Amino acid sequence: MVIRPRIKGFICASAHPIGCQANVREQIEYVTSSGRISGSAKRVLVIGASTGYGLASRITAAFGCGAKTIGVFYERPASGNRTASAGWYNSTAFQDSADEAGLYSKNINGDAFSDAVKKAAIRLIEADLGSVDLVVYSLASPRRLHPDTGALHSSSLKPIGKPLTQTGIDTDREVVKQFTLEPATQKEIDDTVAVMGGDDWERWIRALSAAGVLADDCKTTAYTYIGENVTREIYWNGTIGAAKKDLDRTVETLRREGFDATVSVLKAVVTQSSAAIPAMPLYLALLFSTMKREGSHEGCIQQIYRLFRECLFNDRPRRDSEERNRVDEREVSPVIQNQVEELWPQVTTENLKVISDFIGFQTEFLKLFGFGIKTVDYDADVDAETQINCLINLV
């Protein structure tokens, strides 16, 4: 079949297997050309391993550290005229590349919030690895079925305390407009923390520890975003921020119990989640144009490679006063943020593609789903059905 992008808002309902493969291999090439990371992990579990920062973490662990990896994700295969999800194609491509390189790699497809997936991961580690020395928690999900209560929690992208009006982009119509978001209820805040906070990460670490599959020197990290003034009200001071602050609470709890746990602060990049926040596409478009001019722009793979080399496996890791790993320092530098804040009120629908890198934002968004890659022939007939080797499917 010939596969085209089917986009509405921040949702793309199709994905391209050859494009996703090209995207994964481009990231692998970046890591292999950047050099081996010394003193790093050798047996790695990545929870949320199929897209974005989680995928970049697995690529960096495997091809930058030479690690054996187990990836946990929740993706769908192709069915009839519907393509597989981008994460399914990414995982197919990663596994194929790992097989070609002779690297151990196995996969679990299922709800990472569930006890069943945790037990499956433990059994696999026991059988194949004995233990893991790095656990990356990079789960991104809009909802969570709680394993104890059976309650379904859905996350919200809302401010807290008062309504918020901000300039943003209607990405379908490419129009700059004002968006007003009503404040979250306490239930919406609590639900967002339940989905995106630290509870499930903590459950993973406790389950792995109780099973005896964490190496004595095992590190674990979860990913967060803080940002600066332009994004602070909708992000750090909003419902998502409440969840991310809960990750800090989780770190304190895990450290008190003797675990080597950290939160790692990463820069803003294009993801389905970030595209859903009204102000973020405009912020990203301005950030990209500013950072590209300064020569400091990075995507997921560059960020994660630096995180591993400069923070996770470095005798002098870059950390802030809260002991978080920081590789967002280029984004939040005063030089970059002052330029973004200066440009923000100047953007109109008419000058959007001149004053910002909105085209770059669109390109990165398409790339998430395997589209817009120059080396791929999108007029060619392709097989949408792919198989992930070494897969335990619990869906």
The tens digit of pLDDT for each residue in 102-145 reads 999 999 999 999 999 999 999 999 999 999 999 999 998 999 99
- Reported as a single tens digit per residue, the pLDDT across 310-331 is 999 999 999 999 999 999 999 9
* Residues composing the chain: 395
Using the predicted structure, report yes or no on whether residue 9 has a pLDDT greater than 80: no
Residue 42: name the closest of 57, 61, 58 by CA: 61
Beta-sheet pairing, 43-47 with 11-12: unpaired
pLDDT at 245: 96
* Angle ∠(73,277,295) on CA atoms, nearest 5: 85
* Angle ∠(249,230,334) on CA atoms, nearest 5: 90
Cβ neighbours of residue 67 under 8 Å, at least 6 residues apart? Answer: 40, 41, 42, 43, 44, 61, 103, 134
From 222-231, 291-300, 320-329, the region with the lowest mean pLDDT: 222-231
**Domain regions of the chain by residue span:** 7-159+187-269+297-328+370-393
User: Residue 298: how many CB atoms within 10 A of its CB?
Assistant: 18
**Measured in whole angstroms, how far is the alpha carbon of residue 99 from the centre of its chain?**
24
- Reported as a single tens digit per residue, the pLDDT across 333-389 is 999 999 999 999 999 999 999 999 999 999 999 999 999 999 999 999 999 999 999
From 4-13, 69-78, 113-122, 204-213, the region with the lowest mean pLDDT: 4-13
Active-site annotation holds for 235: yes
Q: Which of 235, 283, 305, 378 is catalytic?
A: 235
Residue 220: name the closest of 149, 141, 295, 133 by CA: 133
pLDDT at 180: 93
CATH of segment(s) 7-159+187-269+297-328+370-393? 3.40.50.720
- Structure-token pair, residue 186: 């306490």
Q: Per 3-state DSSP, what percentage of the chain is helix, strand, and coil (rounded to 5)?
A: 40, 20, 40
Residue 165 phi/psi, 5° resolution?
A: -115, 125
pLDDT at 272: 77
pLDDT at 360: 95
Residue 43 phi/psi, 5° resolution?
A: -140, 105
Average pLDDT on 158-164 reads 95
Average pLDDT of the chain, as a whole number: 96
pLDDT at 271: 83
